[in-house]
Every structure is written in structure tokens, then in C-alpha cells.
Chains A and B, each alone.
Chain A
Amino acid sequence: QLQLQESGPGLVKPSETLSLSCTVSGGSISSSIYYWGWVRQPPGKGLEWIGSIYYSGSAYYNLSLKSRVTISVDTSKNQFSLTLNSVTAADTAVYYCARLPDCSSTRCLGVDYWGQGTLVTVSS
């Protein structure tokens, strides 16, 4: 059974950098039909796709966050990571890592595996 687990600090100061990692277990991150992505959810609000990455390193970002976001992948560790610069209180959210199908290559099942989510609070 595939499992995803987020890790990283739960508190980040304004203007600093948010960094999270996601460890994938029970399967390989090196798949050509899945992206690995980050989705966030501010308290009491909806879901927001942050970005996705292929195991090859090709990354895609939400245009509204693109200037501040980097997603990277480490296939040797079966991990992928999120970096968000210059954070503000508006970046306070539960951050989920997730597996997203490449809908042009396989059945578009939606996000089929999620991490449990980690709350990141931006506050001084």
C-alpha cells in the first residue's frame, strides 16, 4: 500500500522560507504516469493546487505562486520537496503531499493518494 508522509516545521516566521518534504513508501516515485504534487488548504477554506513534479524533474506550478515556489524530487530517497519563499500569514494552511495521475497517460482518477497533511502556521 502506497503511503505518503509530510515532514517539516509547523511554524515559520513571516518573510522566511517554508520547506516541506514528502517521503513515499510502499512504491516507487519513478513512475511515468503519475505526478507528485502539493496541495494546501487554509483553515476553513478550499483546496489549492501548488504544483506538481515528475520523477524526471519536470515541474509545473500554480501561476499565482510560481514566483515563490520550487518543487524538487530525489528519486534515490523516494522523496519530493516543497520550498515556498517570502511567506506571509496568507500561507498558513494544511499542506498535503499527493499523487496525481497524468490524465493524458492513464485513467484520470483524481488524487488517489494523500499524505495526512501538516499544518504550517506563519507567525512571528
Chain B
Amino acid sequence: FMLTQPHSVSESPGKTVTISCTRSSGSIASNYVQWYQQRPGSFPTTVIYEHNQRPSGVPYRFSGSIDSSSNSASLTISGLQTEDEADYHCQSYDSSNWVFGGGTKLTVL
């Protein structure tokens, strides 16, 4: 299966942005979805795991959800800050095979 993300999104500081991740086949609910933040020159770090769980240290402004009707997952960032500008990647799996989305560049302007 594939995970499809928008190539880029942009929003102003203080606003809320949502990034989608659509699964091409199989149910989005059948395997957990994770979200990673990646700043230039660095490896990715997890901001959401198991659809909607936040690792310790990740601000409450980050939240995750899934929608079975659209077979997609979403990452929502509220109260946008300039430091949130980064690439965001969704990831899921099927058996022992992992799949990443194509990544979304978030611009905070």
C-alpha cells in the first residue's frame, strides 16, 4: 500500500494546520500510524505514535487522528510557531513491512 501526503502546506504563526496522510489500500485503522518531524540536516523524530499518542517532550499543540471514512490519518498543529517549520512524514506498516508517506513541507510564514 502507499501513503499519500500533500507536498507542502503553509500557514501563519498562531494558526492551526492539518496535514493529511491517505492510505491507498487496506484500512487506516488496522495498523498504527506514526508522524515524524524532520528539520533540515537532521534525522526525523517522532511527534505522534499509535495514531494519536504524543511522546514525552512533544508539545500538546501536536495531535493526531484517523478517519476511517476517508481512510486517512491527520496531524494537526495548533498555535503554530516558527520552530514548527519542518518536513513531516507519516508512517505505517503491514505485517513486517513499513511504509512512509512522501513527506509534507510545512512553512510557517
Contact = CB atoms under 8 A, between A and B. Distances in A.
Interface of A: 35, 37, 39, 45-49, 52, 60, 62-63, 96, 100, 102-103, 107-112, 114-117
B73 to A, nearest CB: 13
Interface string B20-59: 0000000000011010100000011010011000010000
Contacts of A110: 34, 36, 46, 49, 91
Given A111-B36, A116-B43, A47 B100 contact: yes
A110 to B, nearest CB: 4
Contacts of B49: 107-110
B96 interface: yes
A103 B32 CA distance: 8
Contacts of B36: 47, 110-111
Contacts of A62: 97
A114 to B, nearest CB: 4
Interface residues of B, number: 23
A117 B35 CA distance: 19
A108 B34 contact: yes
B98 A114 contact: no
Nearest to A115: B43
B102 interface: yes
Across the A-B interface, the 6 shortest Cβ-Cβ residue pairs: A110-B34, A46-B103, A114-B43, A49-B98, A60-B96, A108-B32
A46 B5 CA distance: 10
A52 B98 contact: yes
Contact of B50 (A47, A60, A63, A108): A108
